[in-house]
Amino acid sequence: MNGISIRLIQKSEELPEMVCDNFFHSTDFFLIAEKTPGYAPLMAVAEDRNGKVHAHLLALICRHGRLFPPYLYTHGRVYGEGEYAPGEDRELLFSMMLKAVTQKFNHKLCLYIEFSDISNKMFAYRHFRQNGYFPIPWQEIHNSLHSLPPEKRISEKALSKIETAEKHGVYTRETENEKELGAFYKLLRSYFRFKTRRSIPHRKMFSMLNSEGDSKTFVTIYKNKIIGGCVCLYSGKNAYMWYLASKRKTYIHLSPASITVWAAIKYAYTHGYEHIYFLDAGLPFRNNPFREFILSFGGKPVSKYRWFRLPVPYINRFLSWCYNDK
């Protein structure tokens, strides 16, 4: 695009003034990620010769340590396709930012790169392919909150489980202090310990998100013990369930995950949010218990793509060939 170039920014003091309506691409999230151990934010800014910002996209470089190979690695992560000024050619600007951040991810030796939560399944398909990405079909689920109350959408079976748990004294509320947040964080780490694809940010990120008002951490309590909880982000008119964890096997008769999700949905509804999105409903396998669990609350399944890229050329080419479904 004539006169527009991409600038990659890694320090918050270099960020220009931008209109940020999407939290996942906001200066607020950049500042939080910048202060989070193990995270390095990268803002791609499309600007003209006069310094006017036409689009921007926030990418994250995440460092991880494991008890098994690969012991230490980084990966690149992007939620969505960025933000754009009105009337801009979104795909063209995105292709420019995509190329720039991909080169930076490669320079940082990321083990893999992942783009998720793209608004339209076919958005920038050609540009992703040209930059060496391959798509994996992914199931995304969201609940509409603006037309009917949640009670009109939830299944009878799910509602019965919640009522049973409540009769036994189980309840869900927001965390009230750092001690409760720490207890939930310990549960979250334990829950995802062997789920290698899901990485958990440092606890400091959750503390900052809560204090800035961009997030709520809910905990489910039974006999003064935290047996479940979730982290929700809020952006514009939408709520996003980012992480969900519970002691579902220990307290299977109390359905801690069900009452946790229900509390998050009710909170979003009563505070005027139009949708709640579940950010990791998972691969669209025929047998997917977590997807069916989320759908029991009245959600709508949407088939989309997640885009991945690996640094090893022959492996990436093979996977790209495997997923060449167009």
| pTM, full prediction | 0.92
**What is the per-residue pLDDT across 131-157, written as a single tens digit (0 to 9) for each?**
999 999 888 899 999 989 999 999 999
Mean pLDDT of the region 118-123: 93
pLDDT at 110: 94
Closest CA to 127 of 309, 254, 310: 309
Residues 54 and 42: their CA atoms lie apart, in Å, by 17
With 0-12 / 13-18 / 19 or more C-beta atoms within 10 angstroms meaning exposed / middle / buried, residue 106 is middle
pLDDT at 320: 84
Closest CA to 117 of 300, 318, 236, 277: 277
pLDDT at 99: 98
Structure confidence at residue 246 as a pLDDT band (50, 70, 90): very high
pLDDT at 326: 52
pLDDT at 319: 86
Residues 50 and 280: their CA atoms lie apart, in Å, by 40
Mean pLDDT of the region 208-237: 95
| Nearby residues of 157 by Cβ (< 8 Å), 6 or more positions away | 296
298 Rama sector, left if φ>0, alpha if ψ -120 to 50, beta otherwise: left
| Nearby residues of 84 by Cβ (< 8 Å), 6 or more positions away | 54, 55, 90, 93
pLDDT of 71 > 80? The answer is: no
Mean pLDDT of the region 82-111: 96
User: What does the block give as tokens for 52?
Assistant: 């006017």
Among the listed ranges 7-21, 73-87, 273-287, which one has the minimum average pLDDT value?
273-287
| Nearby residues of 312 by Cβ (< 8 Å), 6 or more positions away | none
User: What does the block give as tokens for 5?
Assistant: 């170039």
CA distances to 59, 61, 74, 84, 99 from 107, rounded to whole Å, are 14, 11, 11, 26, 12
Is residue 254 within 8 A of residue 270, CB to CB? The reply is: no
Structure confidence at residue 182 as a pLDDT band (50, 70, 90): very high
Structure confidence at residue 68 as a pLDDT band (50, 70, 90): low
pLDDT at 280: 74
**Alpha-helical runs (H) found in 168-228:** 178-191, 203-212
Q: How many CA within 13 A on the CB side of residue 292? A: 6
pLDDT at 139: 83
The average confidence (pLDDT) of the chain is 92
Mean pLDDT of the region 93-99: 98
Residue 56 β-bridge partners: 45, 83
pLDDT at 132: 93
Mean pLDDT of the region 298-322: 90
pLDDT at 67: 66
Residues 87 and 12: their CA atoms lie apart, in Å, by 27
Mean pLDDT of the region 298-323: 89
pLDDT of 22 > 70? The answer is: yes
- DSSP per residue, 274-310: SEEEETT-----SS-HHHHHHHTTT-EEEEEEEEEE-
Structure confidence at residue 282 as a pLDDT band (50, 70, 90): low
Structure confidence at residue 284 as a pLDDT band (50, 70, 90): low
Closest CA to 246 of 237, 254, 234: 254
**Kind of pairing between the strands at 275-278 and 238-246:** parallel
